[in-house]
Structure 1
Amino acid sequence: MPVDRLLPTAEARDLIQLTRDVADKVLEPVVDEHERHETYPDGVFATLGEAGLLSLPYAEEWGGGGQPYEVYLQVLEELAARWAAVAVAVSVHGLSCHPLMSFGTEEQKAEHLPGMLDGTQIGAYSLSEAEAGSDAAALRCKATPADGGYTITGSKAWITHGGKADFYNLFARTGEGSKGVSCFLIPDGIDGLAFGKPEEKMGLHAIPTTSAQYENVRVSEDRRIGTEGQGLQIAFSALDAGRLGIAAVAVGIAQAALDDAVAYAHERSAFGKKIIDHQGLGFVLADMAAAVDSARATYLDAARRRDAGLPYSRNASVAKLIATDAAMKVTTDAVQVFGGYGYTRDFRVERYMRDAKITQIFEGTNQIQRLVIARSLTDR
């Protein structure tokens, strides 16, 4: 059932209603087919772009929606409640626009941002490598200066929307150590860039996750975002916002699982009464509801800090940790509520459980979030 949301403006309330309408008409009718058959939803992102849902947190002067992060994240949650894979891709697109918006020159913004923000281009983030997942400073993909630009050689891994996106934020080594990584804006279809076979994943089946191979890819210097060696600063600043996106997606998954479990508990009877009227099951559902509500509160708190210009890195890690652990617990409990039926593909709860697992892993594993939080407590 729709969540009653405390929203700051009438415009935000209208936006949430628009999101629900689009999600119900565009995502809900086709999600089961695409997820089951692992087929890409052609046209879905164009529709979301036309509705203005792909650029909400960015400035209106560049074609964005000019919405506070608190509102944008609730839009992501609504999308995730219908289709987690699409919501993740929308979050990654938002993450992919951040480097250019925050660190690009005015000339770079004028050239590239309008297409990124008007919904006609979808972005992807290319930071991880097979041997450098959580340890971003260990990157090996290399960008060598050559003829007024760079030649890029190496591999990347775990790229959401790999092979389907229109542009990629690539982080490659231009020097030694943590100060030797730079950020590049790579267009799709550039010579020398190839993508591997989509990973066979537990969940998020409709959106591909791939590796990428750069073989002597030539880019001009104006494709570098920020200064040389500023790459990890750019990457980590984007990841704070990206973690909030994943927290919102996780809450959307958990809310969908809770709604389905409550509806089923009202329909199913055992021992002469609806199963929701059995205290043992009622307490399970109560714990699920408490987990969803508290997880939502953590991401909204972090978002409001971001909107107010306050430090929010620790809060983003807290939100990502709490929300994704809650999603895993709530979806597991939802399967339990359904009993044996929950273990079948006849009901969506088994998919919610599979989709929830990855939220504990990407944008920094939850072990990394605990590390970030612990360091914030010792850094005075």
Structure 2
Amino acid sequence: MWHNSSMSDFLAPPVPVVPAPFHTPEREKLQEQARAFAAERVLPVADELDKVKGEIPRSLLDEMGELGYFGITVPREHGGLGLGAFEYCMIAEELARGWMSVGSIIARAQGAGTGVADEARRAELLRRSAAGTWIGAIALSEPDAGSDLAAVATRAERDGDDFVITGRKRWIGNAKAADFLQILVRTADPEPGEKRSAGLATLVLEKERDSFPAGLSGTPIDKIGYHGFVTWDLEFDGLRVSAANLLGEQGFAEAQQWLNIARVHTAARAVGLARGAVEDCIVYLQEREQFEHPIGDFQAVRFKLATMAARVEQARSFYQHVAQRLDQGEPCEREAAMVKLLATEMAAEVTGDGIQLHGGNGYTTEHRVERYWRDARLTTIFEGTSEIQQKIIADRLLPRSPLG
């Protein structure tokens, strides 16, 4: 059975409130609320549903909508909290501590898919996004275009007032349950001398929840972790989307800009998972006895735990720093790649260390630490693999020679 930690276990040791220079009373209150919600509402659901690969219940999503978590970055005049990347990532860390998919689902709103030209329609969608009734899915990757988004081949041909989409997308989380799909498509081939990303655009498909419209079908992808919502392989076969739902013809640049925030968000989720491993280890090391002592008395174990905790604090400070800079409007592509690289690799290692500290019990489904590891392992892959982050960083530190 799952280890049943109390609220005090979940918070032990208590993570300091948002430190200076980032501290405000409002952020402190928001963090405490998110932490309590994750402990009392998210964690029990994760314990029940993750082991059966269940989906986040709609009732839990409704509660998150009432708390404003789907509209953290939506302006107040549209019903959102009117906050920035810092608060968005801070809340994501707390939610991911309970279940990573809950820390992830909030990214499927935040005003996504609302960039339509009609002002009244845009305002309506922003209100729905903030309320959690406009939750989408982002269709970027394809079987042959993951790290290399410029290779996107899914076509959108103009036909009167519509675009007709043909092609295939892969790794689309929440696709069937979503209210909309935001789809990166190719509307034209690049001209000679143009970048390969020329001709990419973004279309928004409005759809009914829990169904696919005519011209779209999907196959679930069976994953070893990241449960809570289903990930899909989608086939587009003549799907019609209104041309009014074209968000722009700078699809590649828009996707890259969105990925900067997404990568800091991933770093925050990774910190939440690693923190879960540390906190659960603190409880376990006091409960588990060998040689007539709690194993937490042994120096080798204590030092490993100390190093784990220090690495979590380091990664948290880094993602908060980058998030703050994003909110100040600074260009942070390099820093976003750095924090995504370091935080996610840290989380994969720290959660693995958590399994080790649990001994044989860590390699069972009786304790949560295996869930943290399975989810943390994915953070090194999605939103750009660790190798892609290294490439981004290196290319900005060391330009290639003309002969390179």
Q: How many Å separate the matches in 2 of 1:51 and 1:19?
A: 9
Asked if residue 302 in structure 1 is aligned to residue 322 in structure 2, the reply is: yes
Aligned counterpart in structure 2 of residue 185 of structure 1, from 183, 192, 204: 204
CA distance in structure 2 between the aligned counterparts of 1:345 and 1:145, rounded to whole angstroms: 51
Aligned to 1:214: 236
Question: TM-score under structure 1 normalisation?
Answer: 0.94
Matching residue within 34, 45, 50 for 2:49: 34
Structure 2 residue aligned with 1:201, among 195, 209, 223? 223
Closer, same or farther: CA 195–288 of 1 in aligned 2, 3 Å:
farther
Deviations 1:201-242 (A, max 9, x none): 01012211001122211122210002x3x1101111111111
Counterpart residue identity of residue 372, structure 2: Y
Code of the aligned partner of 2:134: Q
Query: RMSD of the TM alignment (CA)?
Result: 1.8
Classify 1:54/1:47 alpha carbon distance in 2 versus 1 (closer, same or farther; 3 Å).
same
Query: CA contact under 8 A between 2:207 and 2:213: conserved in structure 1?
Result: no
Of all paired residues, the percent bearing the same amino acid is 37
Give the equivalent residue in structure 1 for 2:7: none
Q: Alpha carbons of 1:326 and 1:195: their partners in 2 closer, same or farther (altered >3 Å)?
A: farther
1:118 aligns with 2:138: no
Counterpart for residue 225 of structure 1: 247
1:287 aligns with 2:307: yes
The match for 2:3 is: none
Q: Distance in 2 between matches of 1:134 and 1:92?
A: 20
Q: Given the alignment, which residue of 128, 133, 153 partners 2:166?
A: 153
C-alpha displacement at 1:193, in angstroms? 4.3
Q: Structure 1: 5+ residue runs without aligned partners?
A: none
Tell me which of 344, 358, 362 is aligned to 1:324.
344
- 2:390 is paired with a residue of what secondary structure? helix
Paired with 1:303 and 1:232, the residues of 2 have a C-alpha distance of 22
1:74 aligned residue (66, 69, 90): 90
- Structure 2 counterpart of 1:4: 16
Aligned AA for 1:66? G
The C-alpha deviation readout for 1:121-176, integer Å capped at 9, x for no partner, is 21111100011111101111100011023111111110111211111110000011
Q: Sort the Cα spacing of 1:324 and 1:195 in 2 relative to 1 into closer, same or farther, 3 A.
A: farther
Query: Cα deviation per residue 1:161-199 (whole Å; 9 max; x = unaligned)?
Result: 121111111000001131111001111246334342321
| Pair 1:273 & 2:275 matched | no
Cα distance between partner residues in 2 of 1:111 and 1:246: 28
Q: Does the CA-based 8 Å contact 1:132-1:138 persist in structure 2?
A: yes
Instruction: Tell me the SS of whatever aligns to 1:197.
Output: strand
SS of the residue corresponding to residue 71 of structure 2 reads coil
Shift of 1:92: 4.0
**Retained in 1: the 8 A contact 2:109–2:132?**
no
| Equivalent position of 1:237 in the other structure | 257
Q: Normalization by structure 2: what TM-score? A: 0.89
Count of residues in Structure 1 that have an aligned counterpart in Structure 2: 375
Shift of 1:49: 0.7
Which amino acid letter does the alignment assign opposite residue 191 of structure 1? P
TM-superposition CA deviations, 1:90-117 (whole Å, max 9, x none) = 23444xx34645x866455224222122
Tell whether the 8 Å contact from 2:112 to 2:136 is kept in structure 1 after alignment.
Answer: no
Q: Which residue of 1 aligns with 2:181?
A: 168
What CA distance in whole angstroms lies between the structure 1 residues aligned with 2:107 and 2:213? 27
Q: Determine the C-alpha separation between the residues in 1 that align with 2:388 and 2:370.
A: 27
SS in 2 for 1:203: coil
Partners of 1:160 and 1:10 in 2: CA distance: 35
SS of the equivalent of 1:214 reads strand
Q: Pick from 79, 85, 90: which aligns with 2:106? A: 90
SS in 1 for 2:167: strand
1:250 pairs, out of 270, 277, 290, with 270
